Structure 1
Amino acid sequence: MIKSLAGESNRIARFIAVGALNTVFGLTVYSLFIWFGSPTWLALIGGNLAGLAFNFVTTGGLVFADLSPRRIPTFAAVYVGTYLLNLGLIHALSPIIGGPILSQVVLTPIMAVIAYLLMSRVVFSDRSSSNRQNL
């Protein structure tokens, strides 16, 4: 029990570190799209597409130690779901907070928690791996 808690704590710490790197990459791409005049939906798609392969390698490899190609469709589905949630929240917050970039900065920690929960429980869970092997 203590060993599994320590392992989970280490994995969360790695997720935070890798998430910071992924976030800087994604936020930079997103901000560049906005800066060049793209609409918010296109900036989010650009940031997500640019980071998808990079994030799969960093998250799958460094956090969950699993780069199995069979996880890519679920990983991508989680990305689409978090994209849609993020887009809706940006549109809701932008008029209140003062624009899409600041809204994304405010939403980043919230989206990180949601992403970790989905990655650990849906994409890279041991149960989802054993279920896929039984299919």
Structure 2
Amino acid sequence: MVVGGVNTVFGYGCFWLLLYVGLHYSMALLIGTVLGVLFNFKTTGTLVFGSHDNRLIFRFVGSYVFTYFCNLAGLRVLVGAGFSPQVGGLLLILPMAAVSFVILRRFVFAAKT
């Protein structure tokens, strides 16, 4: 839970900062996701799933590609409904964390759980 919280704060912080400097939400989300993947792989793999297998990086990246597009679709809907990208991003944190965890557990680190 702590690892997920730290990873979420890091990812949302990157997203928010990139919005603050003027990037469109889709680009801020993309860059934030890339930075999150780099930050999260070792913490999530090692501390949450007990994995030290660096070969899983490709599955891990694939899971985040899927999650990025889900998150982007959700943001488009929420921004279209009048929410700011910042608030939309906050509203999507828990659903995207759940989606990400399920994908990581079933498809990335399945042998370790």
**How high is the TM-score relative to the length of structure 2?**
0.94
> 1:102 maps to what in 2?
87
Matching residue's letter, 1:37: G
User: Cα RMSD between the aligned structures?
Assistant: 1.2
Equivalent in the alignment of 1:124: 109
**Mind listing any 5+ residue stretches in structure 1 that lack a counterpart?**
1-15, 128-135
C-alpha offsets along residues 5-24 of structure 1, whole Å, 9 cap, x if unaligned?
xxxxxxxxxxx221110010
SS class of match (2:81): helix
> TM-score normalized by structure 1?
0.79
Stretches of structure 2 lacking an aligned partner (at least 5 in a row): none
Structure showing greater radius of gyration is 1
Which residue is 1:34 aligned to?
Answer: 19
Mapped partners of 2:36, 2:52: distance in 1: 16
CA contact (8 A) 1:97 1:103 kept: no
Which piece of structure 1 moves more, 76-85 or 50-59? Answer: 50-59
d(CA) in 2 for partners of 1:19, 1:84: 20
Letter in 2 for 1:102: V
Q: Identity across aligned pairs (percent)?
A: 35
Candidates 19, 35, 39, aligned match of 1:50 = 35
Number of matched residues? 112
8 Å contact kept, 1:56–1:67: no
Alpha-carbon shift at residue 51 of structure 1 (Å): 1.5
Q: Structure 2: how far apart are the matches of 1:116 and 1:97?
A: 28
